[in-house]
Amino acid sequence: MIFVGLSHKTAPIEVRERLAIGRSQLPEVLARLTAHPAIAEALVLSTCNRVEVYASPRRPAPGLVRPGGAPPSADDERALQNEALRAAVSVLIGIGGDAVRGHLAGRVGADAVVHLFRVAASLDSMVVGEPQILGQMKEAIEIARGAKTLGARLGRAAHRAIKVGKRVRTETAIGAGQVSVSSVAIDLARQIFTELTGHTALLIGAGEMAEAASKLLVRAGARLVVVNRSPERAAALAREVGGEPRPWAELERAVVEADIVVSSTSSPSYVVTPDLVRRARKARRGRSLFLIDIAVPRDIDPAVNKLDNVYLYDVDDLSQIVAQSVEGRAVEAARAEAIVVDEAQAFEAWTLERALTPTIVGLRARTRSILSAEVERSLSGKLRHLGPAERQALALMVEAATNKLLHVPTT
């Protein structure tokens, strides 16, 4: 198995958004990956903080790699993995352009498995312990299954990754309390205003991240206004949390009224521009405007930050608050790391057993064939005087001896 991709750890947001792959684009990307002769299976995980490809190399038919149909040697396997790695890198650069090249990280073999399991356990998340990653990974798996790009090897790894994530959340307290990008954004809002009660918060978007932010804002006492391109979704979310829905056409007016704006849409282009904010500033009569952009690609043009009395924060700006969260979860993170190592070792044992199965089956069949031929030769020669009962007893004895001889070295 191989992994290649980028995340908040390897690339700033302006690079990550170049490679952002929407849900509707995933089947096409999966098809491009598996169309390459080096890749047999593929899974793509695309979130606001990472875009990662997991793949299983395409292996030649038995007998084409090593004489006699033996499994590939360690060198053969590494060569196949490296070829698949290069293929995946090529596809990602084709999507994000050459600017992403220097920010891509890759792993092969056991290291790729460990990385997958760490991601599922939220150990590689910007906010360690956040629960969204498990749902995002499940969705990525379902899309790959629908695209028919998951087989026995990668499918097993993906299935185990979900189990690892669940085990970590069950056996540790890594997810205790509010831990998500949305919760960190609201923590930042609290730092800005000290108290959100009596302040108006504008939420742009109505997806999963926006929904999480809306509940936290209302819980903190803010008056919530929800704007979304789909008026039905805006109304549904506002109704659920006790907010006020507004049509998309009233976005600028909503910005004028808001004390703080939190934006999380899936728009491929900016929804809040410098021109919109300039017009809103005039109507705000000098009131400061705080904007928190938790979308990737970004919803708010970074040039907005250059305007007077306007303060913009994106997901990369939340890192200082996140660092405090990580310190408080260090002990639970260490317990989660131990679970990841345990599960990765178990998966490697399964992989080795699966790789050796054809050889073991062939060895058993070959041994039985040789012994059977020798018994038949003896029964036609020196032992031809044996009767039916004696011949059957001899056959049973040879079969039992064969099983005992092969049991230890092939189990």
- For 104-116, write each residue's pLDDT tens digit: 999 999 999 999 9
**Sign of torsion, CA 25 27 28 32?**
positive
Q: Say yes or no to pLDDT of 63 above 50.
A: no
Backbone φ, ψ for residue 289 (5° rounding): -125, 130
Do the beta carbons of residue 315 and residue 181 sit within 8 Å?
A: yes
If residue 68 lies in a helix (H) or strand (E), which one and from where to where? none
- How would you classify the pairing of strands 105-108 and 244-246? unpaired
Q: Are residues 44 and 140 in the same domain?
A: yes
How far is the CA of 70 from the CAs of 154, 299, 405, in angstroms?
22, 54, 21
Tokens found for residue 96: 């994000």
More confident residue, 281 or 411: 281
d(Cα 276, Cα 272) in Å, to the nearest integer? 6
Is position 135 within any domain? Answer: yes
Q: Are residues 167 and 209 in the same domain?
A: no
DSSP-derived letter for residue 125 is S
Q: Which residues are annotated as a binding site for NADP(+)?
A: 205-210
Is position 349 within any domain? Answer: no
Q: Are residues 19 and 152 in the same domain?
A: yes
174 CB-near residues (< 8 Å, 6+ apart) = 121, 122, 128, 129, 168, 329, 332, 333, 335, 336
Sheet holding 260-263, edge to edge: 244-246, 223-227, 200-204, 260-263, 289-293, 310-314
Among the residue ranges 292-296, 397-401, 402-406, the one predicted with the least confidence is 402-406
Q: Are residues 119 and 12 in the same domain?
A: yes
State the pLDDT at residue 405.
Answer: 67
Is position 145 within any domain? Answer: yes
Domain boundary among 272, 292, 315: 315
The rounded percent of the chain whose pLDDT value lies above 90 is 64
pTM: 0.79
Is position 114 within any domain? Answer: yes
For the chain, the average pLDDT equals: 88
- At residue 292 the predicted structure's pLDDT band, cuts being 50, 70 and 90, is very high
Q: Are residues 90 and 202 in the same domain?
A: no
Only one residue has tokens 């041994």, namely: 367
Domain boundary among 153, 175, 197: 175
Which span out of 58-62, 90-94, 283-287 was modeled with the highest average pLDDT? 90-94
Q: Say yes or no to pLDDT of 30 above 60.
A: yes
Q: Say yes or no to pLDDT of 373 above 50.
A: yes
- How would you classify the pairing of strands 244-246 and 223-227? parallel
d(Cα 80, Cα 270) in Å, to the nearest integer? 41
State the pLDDT at residue 150.
Answer: 97
- At residue 65 the predicted structure's pLDDT band, cuts being 50, 70 and 90, is very low
Tokens found for residue 37: 């002769």
Is position 322 within any domain? Answer: no
Q: Are residues 170 and 223 in the same domain?
A: no
HSE-up (13 A, CA, CB side) for residue 158: 28
Q: Under the phi-then-psi rule, with left for phi > 0, alpha for psi from -120 to 50, and beta for the rest, what region is 129?
A: left
Q: Say yes or no to pLDDT of 328 above 80.
A: no
If residue 204 lies in a helix (H) or strand (E), which one and from where to where? strand 200-204
Q: Are residues 147 and 225 in the same domain?
A: no
Q: Give the burial string for 344-378 (b: 16+ CB within 10 Å, else e).
A: beebeeebeeeeeeebeeeeeeeeeeebeeebeee
Q: Which amino acid appears at position 348 of this protein?
A: E
Q: Are residues 207 and 118 in the same domain?
A: no
Among the residue ranges 9-23, 130-144, 180-194, 275-289, the one predicted with the least confidence is 180-194
State the pLDDT at residue 322.
Answer: 75
Q: Which residues are annotated as a binding site?
A: 47-50, 125, 130-132, 136, 205-210
d(Cα 171, Cα 148) in Å, to the nearest integer? 33
Q: Say yes or no to pLDDT of 359 above 70.
A: no
pLDDT tens per residue across span 138-182: 999 999 999 999 999 999 999 999 999 999 999 998 887 656 888
State the pLDDT at residue 370.
Answer: 76
Is position 243 within any domain? Answer: yes
- How would you classify the pairing of strands 260-263 and 200-204? parallel
Q: Are residues 164 and 270 in the same domain?
A: no
Domain boundary among 278, 300, 315: 315
Number of structural domains found in the chain: 3
Q: Say yes or no to pLDDT of 121 above 70.
A: yes
State the pLDDT at residue 184.
Answer: 85
How far is the CA of 180 from the CAs of 7, 172, 177, 246, in angstroms?
16, 17, 10, 26
Residue 25 sits in a domain whose CATH number is 3.30.460.30
Quick count: other Cβ atoms within 10 Å of Cβ 100?
21
- At residue 61 the predicted structure's pLDDT band, cuts being 50, 70 and 90, is low
The catalytic residues are: 48
Is position 344 within any domain? Answer: no
Q: Say yes or no to pLDDT of 362 above 80.
A: no
**What size, in residues, is the chain?**
411
Q: Give the burial string for 50-69 (b: 16+ CB within 10 Å, else e).
A: bbbbbbbbbbeeeeebeeee
The parent domain of residue 51 ranges over 2-61+73-175
pLDDT tens per residue across span 186-221: 888 888 888 889 899 999 999 988 998 999 999 999
Is position 154 within any domain? Answer: yes
More confident residue, 117 or 383: 117
Q: Which residues are annotated as a binding site for substrate?
A: 47-50, 125, 130-132, 136
Q: Which amino acid appears at position 268 of this protein?
A: P
How far is the CA of 5 from the CAs of 2, 16, 103, 165, in angstroms?
10, 10, 8, 20
Average pLDDT over residues 324-330: 68
Cα torsion 390, 394, 397, 402 to 10°: value is: -170
d(Cα 332, Cα 326) in Å, to the nearest integer? 10
Q: Are residues 21 and 158 in the same domain?
A: yes
Q: Are residues 10 and 150 in the same domain?
A: yes
- At residue 329 the predicted structure's pLDDT band, cuts being 50, 70 and 90, is confident
Tokens found for residue 301: 């043009």
More confident residue, 239 or 356: 239
Q: Are residues 142 and 192 in the same domain?
A: no
